[in-house]
Amino acid sequence: MTVRGGRTFRLKDSLGMQYLARLVGAPGREIHVLDLVAAGRGGAEEASVDMGDAGELLDDEARAKYRDRLADLRDTLTEAESFGDADRAARVRAEIDFLGAELGRAVGLGGRGRRAGAAAERARSAVQRRIKNALVRITDMAPDLGSALARSVRTGNFCEYRPEIPPPAVTARPDTRKAD
């Protein structure tokens, strides 16, 4: 790889470098992580990708029990606060926060259960980690290039390379209005 100023350096090939090359080769185009992963498995867009998952994070019965427990805890919190029992109220709030976070993690839009280990989520995590590692390696060799790439590459379920567009030049114009 040759950077501005004619400096050349080499980096070991990796999936992260391949993902970056694919993104840089299609500036402004969003590419789904499953497409990046499939292309990394031999270059074929149609490569076999495991679309399975580990099932719902919480089944209907578990979600109902969590909700019932939250209702009980809210009643307990009201009681503890009315008795002025700050320690008990703090413990109840901590459990409410924990159960709320668990329900939030396990329930998606419209109350539908989220699935554990979905292929797209596994791919998103792997692609993000590999691209980050590749950017670190590039930054070690060419800090300006690594920094510019880090600002221009967006990862998520869809990844994109959007080259930085320099801000337009701003010129100051004197105020020509006359003061009254």
Q: What is the pLDDT of residues 89-121, one digit of tens each?
A: 999 999 999 998 888 877 766 666 766 667 777
Q: Kindly state whether residue 139 falls inside one of the protein's structural domains.
A: yes
pLDDT for 129 beyond 50 = yes
Q: Name the more confident of 167 and 134.
A: 134
* Count of domains for the chain: 2
Which whole number is the average pLDDT over 125-139? 94
**Contact between residue 49 and residue 37 where contact means Cβ atoms under 8 Å apart:** yes
Please report where in the chains the tokens 């880090």 appear, as a residue: 150
Residue 71 has pLDDT above 90, yes or no: yes
Pairing of strands 31-32, 153-154: unpaired
Q: What is the distance between the alpha carbons of residues 63 and 99, in angstroms, rounded to a whole number?
A: 10
Q: How far apart are CA 141 and CA 2, in angstroms?
A: 11
Average pLDDT over residues 41-70: 70
* Res 3: pLDDT: 62
**Residue 103 belongs to a domain:** yes
Segment 137-159 mean pLDDT? 90
106, 123: one domain: no
Beta strands in the chain, from DSSP E residues, in sequence order:
31-32, 153-154, 158-161
Distance separating alpha carbons of residues 172 and 20, to the nearest angstrom = 39
Identify the pLDDT of residue 74.
95
Tell me, what's the pLDDT at 123?
87
Q: Give the pLDDT score at 170.
A: 41
> In the chain, what is the straight-line distance between the N-terminal and C-terminal CA atoms, in Å?
62
Residue 76 in domain: yes
Banded pLDDT at 45 (limits 50, 70, 90): very low
Report the alpha-carbon distance of residue 5 to residue 155 in Å, rounded: 29
Mean pLDDT rounded to a whole number for the chain: 81
Give yes or no: residues 67 and 156 share one domain.
no
Residue-number span of the structural domain to which 74 is assigned:
60-111
The answer to the question of residue 3 being in a domain is: no
Please check whether residues 42 and 123 belong to one and the same domain.
Answer: yes
- Kindly state whether residues 123 and 157 are assigned to the same domain: yes
Specify the pTM: 0.54
Mean pLDDT lowest for which of 12-26, 133-147, 158-172? 158-172
Asked whether residue 8 is assigned to any structural domain, the reply reads no
Closest-CA residue to 17 (of 141, 133, 164) = 133
